[in-house]
Amino acid sequence: MSERKLFFDTVDTPKGEFIITFNETGIYEVLFPGRTLAEIVDTAKLPWSNLEDDFKRYFSGEAVEWTEYPLDCSGYGRFTTALLKEVSKIPWGQTCSYREAAELAGSPLAWRAAGQALAANRHPIIVPCHRVIGSNRKLGGFSGPAGWKEMLLELEGGFNGALSFRR
């Protein structure tokens, strides 16, 4: 958990209520509907007035640019930080493989480590780890609720096992 004081607020979407934890650095964690906070934190209004609207727009099928929202990436190692930065650049409706993501992060042989690092992503949706799939075009793992990775990919343009790779 962050060493900085954390706050939380909720964001209502067509897919349920997300919990957003944050501090003065930025968004610390995005929790899917049905998930609960691991520790007690104070409630506070989100300092980003458009965040809730952007989540609603996203879950209504609209492409959203998340780069204006600061993220607290404390606790991530160098590779995870680099990987999440690269994954953040995958455009709406496109995917890349774990191998390609590892390569973009500067470690072309670390594709398994890429999967583990993405499982630790505390910023799902904002850092679209759901857009990273296997080289065989299978979905691969996802730290969110069962069925959400496929649902998010379908929301972004229909998952048929052959989404376009980012090249």
Q: Show which residues are catalytic.
A: 129
Between the alpha carbon of residue 123 and those of residues 3, 21, 76, 137, the distances in Å are: 17, 10, 12, 23
Token pair recorded at residue 60? 């209504």
134, HSE (Cβ side, Cα atoms, 13 Å): 8
Measured between alpha carbons, how far is 99 from 86 in angstroms, rounded to an integer?
Answer: 12
Measured between alpha carbons, how far is 136 from 55 in angstroms, rounded to an integer?
Answer: 30
